[in-house]
Amino acid sequence: DGGITQSPKYLFRKEGQNVTLSCEQNLNHDAMYWYRQDPGQGLRLIYYSQIVNDFQKGDIAEGYSVSREKKESFPLTVTSAQKNPTAFYLCASSDWTANEKLFFGSGTQLSVL
Protein backbone atom coordinates (compact mmCIF):
# COMPACT_ATOMS: atom_id res chain seq x y z
CA ASP A 1 0.00 0.00 0.00
CA GLY A 2 1.50 3.31 -1.07
CA GLY A 3 1.28 6.32 1.19
CA ILE A 4 2.88 8.71 3.60
CA THR A 5 3.74 7.73 7.15
CA GLN A 6 4.24 10.28 9.89
CA SER A 7 5.49 9.40 13.33
CA PRO A 8 4.93 9.76 16.15
CA LYS A 9 1.24 10.64 16.26
CA TYR A 10 1.71 12.57 19.52
CA LEU A 11 4.92 14.21 20.71
CA PHE A 12 5.80 16.24 23.78
CA ARG A 13 8.66 18.69 23.98
CA LYS A 14 10.35 20.14 27.03
CA GLU A 15 11.56 23.72 27.11
CA GLY A 16 14.87 24.11 25.27
CA GLN A 17 14.64 20.71 23.63
CA ASN A 18 14.89 19.88 19.93
CA VAL A 19 12.49 17.26 18.61
CA THR A 20 12.33 15.56 15.21
CA LEU A 21 9.17 14.56 13.38
CA SER A 22 9.46 11.73 10.90
CA CYS A 23 7.89 11.64 7.42
CA GLU A 24 8.37 8.74 5.01
CA GLN A 25 6.67 8.16 1.65
CA ASN A 26 6.74 5.22 -0.76
CA LEU A 27 4.90 6.97 -3.58
CA ASN A 28 8.10 7.80 -5.47
CA HIS A 29 7.16 11.48 -5.29
CA ASP A 30 9.83 14.08 -5.92
CA ALA A 31 8.30 16.89 -3.87
CA MET A 32 7.70 16.81 -0.13
CA TYR A 33 6.29 19.46 2.20
CA TRP A 34 5.81 20.29 5.85
CA TYR A 35 2.78 22.26 6.98
CA ARG A 36 1.67 23.48 10.35
CA GLN A 37 -1.93 23.88 11.43
CA ASP A 38 -3.08 25.97 14.36
CA PRO A 39 -6.67 26.11 15.58
CA GLY A 40 -8.75 28.42 13.41
CA GLN A 41 -5.99 28.90 10.85
CA GLY A 42 -5.24 27.51 7.44
CA LEU A 43 -2.32 25.26 6.68
CA ARG A 44 0.94 27.20 6.63
CA LEU A 45 4.05 26.03 4.78
CA ILE A 46 7.19 25.50 6.86
CA TYR A 47 9.63 23.93 4.37
CA TYR A 48 9.43 22.14 1.05
CA SER A 49 11.76 20.03 -1.04
CA GLN A 50 11.48 19.44 -4.76
CA ILE A 51 14.40 17.05 -5.04
CA VAL A 52 16.87 15.10 -2.91
CA ASN A 53 19.50 17.22 -1.17
CA ASP A 54 17.58 20.41 -1.85
CA PHE A 55 14.95 22.23 0.19
CA GLN A 56 13.46 25.69 0.46
CA LYS A 57 11.98 27.77 3.25
CA GLY A 58 8.27 28.25 3.32
CA ASP A 59 6.33 31.05 4.97
CA ILE A 60 7.14 30.17 8.61
CA ALA A 61 10.56 28.45 8.55
CA GLU A 62 12.05 30.20 11.57
CA GLY A 63 12.78 27.77 14.40
CA TYR A 64 12.61 24.71 12.14
CA SER A 65 15.12 22.70 10.14
CA VAL A 66 14.82 19.88 7.60
CA SER A 67 16.93 17.47 5.60
CA ARG A 68 16.32 15.52 2.41
CA GLU A 69 19.05 12.89 2.17
CA LYS A 70 16.73 10.32 0.63
CA LYS A 71 13.80 10.69 -1.74
CA GLU A 72 11.55 8.79 0.65
CA SER A 73 12.30 10.78 3.79
CA PHE A 74 11.84 14.40 4.85
CA PRO A 75 12.27 14.77 8.63
CA LEU A 76 11.40 18.04 10.37
CA THR A 77 13.28 19.23 13.46
CA VAL A 78 11.52 21.67 15.74
CA THR A 79 14.34 23.52 17.46
CA SER A 80 14.40 25.33 20.78
CA ALA A 81 14.32 28.57 18.77
CA GLN A 82 10.71 27.88 17.85
CA LYS A 83 8.93 29.72 20.65
CA ASN A 84 5.42 28.51 19.92
CA PRO A 85 5.79 24.92 18.74
CA THR A 86 2.44 23.56 19.92
CA ALA A 87 0.53 22.71 16.74
CA PHE A 88 -0.55 19.94 14.43
CA TYR A 89 2.14 19.16 11.84
CA LEU A 90 1.33 17.67 8.46
CA CYS A 91 3.72 16.19 5.93
CA ALA A 92 2.71 15.93 2.28
CA SER A 93 4.13 14.80 -1.03
CA SER A 94 3.30 15.30 -4.67
CA ASP A 95 4.38 14.58 -8.20
CA TRP A 96 3.23 17.70 -9.99
CA THR A 97 4.59 16.64 -13.34
CA ALA A 98 1.41 14.62 -13.71
CA ASN A 99 -0.70 17.33 -12.02
CA GLU A 100 -1.40 14.86 -9.27
CA LYS A 101 -2.93 15.95 -6.06
CA LEU A 102 -1.12 16.45 -2.79
CA PHE A 103 -1.01 13.39 -0.51
CA PHE A 104 -0.95 13.96 3.24
CA GLY A 105 0.29 11.96 6.18
CA SER A 106 -1.90 11.50 9.24
CA GLY A 107 -0.15 14.26 11.16
CA THR A 108 1.77 14.72 14.42
CA GLN A 109 0.38 16.70 17.34
CA LEU A 110 3.26 18.43 19.14
CA SER A 111 2.73 19.84 22.61
CA VAL A 112 5.06 21.65 25.00
CA LEU A 113 5.39 20.34 28.54
> What does the DSSP assignment read for 46-75?
EEEEEETTEEEE-TT-TTEEE--SBTTB--
Tell me the C-alpha distance between 87 and 110, whole Å: 6
**Does 60 interact with another protein (rule: CB under 8 A)?**
no
Residue type, 106: S
**Does 102 interact with another protein (rule: CB under 8 A)?**
yes
**Does 75 interact with another protein (rule: CB under 8 A)?**
no
- Please count the helices (runs of H) and the strands (runs of E) in the chain: 0, 11
Shortest distance, position 4 Cβ to another protein, whole Å: 8
Shortest distance, position 109 Cβ to another protein, whole Å: 6
Interface with another protein (CB under 8 A), residue from 34, 48, 64, 74: 48
Q: Considering CB under 8 A, how many residues would be counted as binding another protein? A: 29
H/E element, 30: none
Interface with another protein (CB under 8 A), residue from 27, 43, 60, 112: 43
Tell me the C-alpha distance between 97 and 63, whole Å: 31
Q: Which residues bind another protein (CB under 8 A)?
A: 4, 6, 9, 31, 33, 35, 40-43, 45, 48, 50, 56, 58-59, 88, 90, 92, 96, 99, 101-107, 109
